[in-house]
Chains A and B, each alone.
Chain A
């Protein structure tokens, strides 16, 4: 994945401290993400340990998946603080990617999740300026301008500034750590 210039899609909203056990419960880590058929399975179980009352805010009790069992109808996750805390499992950003999530917007991230999302090139982890998990509702239609790092909520008409991607932008643009290292001469191609 290199970065698209704009992304349009629906938001799935979560709260603070969404840890990797909620994103992909440990019992599913027996699938091997290096095998494409098994990679798909992670999409099916993504976010399956989020307590129902916290799943799909503000009201909760909105399942992440509807009809298709592997893909969710959402392209954006909007969350609060410390998204992706807990374990180092790369299966966490993989599960969100396999479920069709392209962007996560959180106040800030746990460092291993953030690295994994960027180095694996699975999704774009933007940081918000304000606490958007209390402004955006699950199902809202969002339009992201990546270069301008602005988010337009087409459902409410609100516009939000996001923090610039900064030093992770070239890694994401290259498509992850390996293509970035090739491009920058760290690795022979």
Chain B
């Protein structure tokens, strides 16, 4: 049989076929469908329109609904949208709903999914959010879709996909302490461009990848969409399986899948991570790459640490390493991705202080877990750029208007670079603050 990549093998299994090839259009069975407060109401509307007012979802244990985008806002429409989710969850008796204002509230869906045991190797996950690709870190096929596709899945459990060809990115070497996964993925996006992976799968491999913890692997996969990628994937290893098994409280069986020897890749790029530099993406595109040394000294008004790609415990540990016993010079916003991360900020310590104490005593503002200002949102959103400010951010996009004001200038960087820049008020190389 023709050797297949990990992505091709997962898709073939879910289409009931022995083999698929890039370019094939196939119908696949869906293991998990994710939606949230921004796209859920539209999805539910289309579902009812086509399957009927009283129709039931195809499998209530395969639908996960995570309100996370516009949560801590006085905006009536935003709150109305969460009510639409609540109503649907009641009608359908859905077990996996993480409601605002309850102990179950999580925050950002892409981090909530693995924490709550909804990501498993070998599965097919679709979500109404482009950063659904984050879950490729668990060795599954995960990609973003729109409302119509999601409504179709809600009723049928199936969706058509075109099998993507795979690009392979191999990282070798031990990551230096001043670099993070964010630097690696910004380097990739800078190399191939924000359309360099359109309609393609990106597979990450090499000892440099397997040395990363699971959260850093999520950062790598999270941003494949910023190069136009359909999905990003990392083969599961012990790190993956330990995490997944510890969280798989629903006891769902799964089968890890690996790329066959001799599988064809559209392209292979090899990086020596010891030779990479801290990187930023300048305004107004994630592929507008510069090394920090090329832009150091650029004046900033604000720093932001949060989101699915930059608001995990690993990200805050890194930022705290730099911010301990220092003060920020510019407004600095800290937004944990989920309630679990927020709890970690209060318990995990560095030099005798909790991470949260480090941030507060440095003068940063700490907000409640949600997507917050990563994508602008209503005008009262925590950290939103309501003025044409310059901001350095651990988030994933910097297109015009992304974080609010359409003339705001957003620089994307690792939590280390953002923290060092917050201390000085200008773009700063984290090496200046790391022993």
Contacts and interface: CB of A to CB of B under 8 A. Distances in A.
B230 A111 contact: yes
B400 A50 contact: yes
Contact of A177 (B25, B130, B149): B149
B194 A17 contact: yes
Nearest to B46: A34
A111 B194 CA distance: 12
A10 B228 CA distance: 29
A73 interface: no
B148 A85 contact: no
Nearest to B41: A32
Contacts of A86: 130, 397, 399
Taking residues whose C-beta sits less than 8 angstroms from the other chain, chain A's interface range is: 35 or more
A177 B194 contact: no
Contacts of A34: 41-42, 44-46, 49
Contact of B77 (A31, A49, A82): A31
A35 B46 CA distance: 10
A73 to B, nearest CB: 22
B39 A89 contact: yes
A19 B410 CA distance: 15
A19 B396 CA distance: 13
Among B25, B49, B50, max chain A CB count under 10 A is at B50
A157 interface: no
Contact of B38 (A29, A50, A187): A29
Main secondary structure of the interface of A (DSSP, over half): loop
Interface residues of B, number: 55
A25 interface: yes
B194 A88 contact: no
A108 B198 CA distance: 9
A109 B397 CA distance: 18
B75 A89 contact: no
A29 B84 CA distance: 14
Contacts of A115: 145-146, 149
Contact of B379 (A27, A32, A87): A27
Contacts of A85: 194-195, 228
A46 to B, nearest CB: 13
Interface stretch (B3-11, B57-65, B370-378): B370-378
Interface string B396-413: 010111101011000000
Given A22-B399, A87-B375, A187 B146 contact: no
Contact of B156 (A17, A110, A187): A187
Given A33-B42, A33-B147, A110-B198, A26 B228 contact: no
B152 interface: yes
Interface string A108-140: 111110011001100000000000000000000
Contacts, number: 142
Contacts of A49: 400-401, 406
A33 B146 CA distance: 12
A68 interface: no
Given A21-B401, A87-B129, A30 B147 contact: no
Contacts of A29: 38, 69-70
A25 B401 contact: yes
A44 interface: no
Nearest to A25: B401
B194 A178 contact: no
Interface string A164-189: 00010000000011100100001100
Given A88-B130, A90-B148, A27 B400 contact: no
B285 interface: yes
A109 B27 CA distance: 22
A17 B284 CA distance: 10
B25 A178 contact: no
A61 to B, nearest CB: 14
B199 interface: yes
Contacts of B50: 178
Given A21-B397, A51-B400, A177-B152, A30 B70 contact: yes
Contacts of A119: 146, 148-149, 152
15 contacts: A21-B375, A26-B38, A30-B75, A82-B194, A87-B375, A88-B130, A88-B145, A90-B147, A111-B228, A115-B149, A116-B145, A119-B146, A119-B149, A120-B146, A186-B27
Interface of A: 17, 19, 21-22, 25-27, 29-35, 49-51, 81-82, 85-91, 108-112, 115-116, 119-120, 167, 176-178, 181, 186-187
Given A88-B127, A177-B148, 17 more contacts: A17-B195, A21-B397, A21-B402, A22-B399, A26-B38, A27-B377, A30-B378, A35-B45, A82-B198, A82-B228, A87-B397, A90-B39, A91-B42, A110-B198, A111-B198, A177-B149, A178-B152
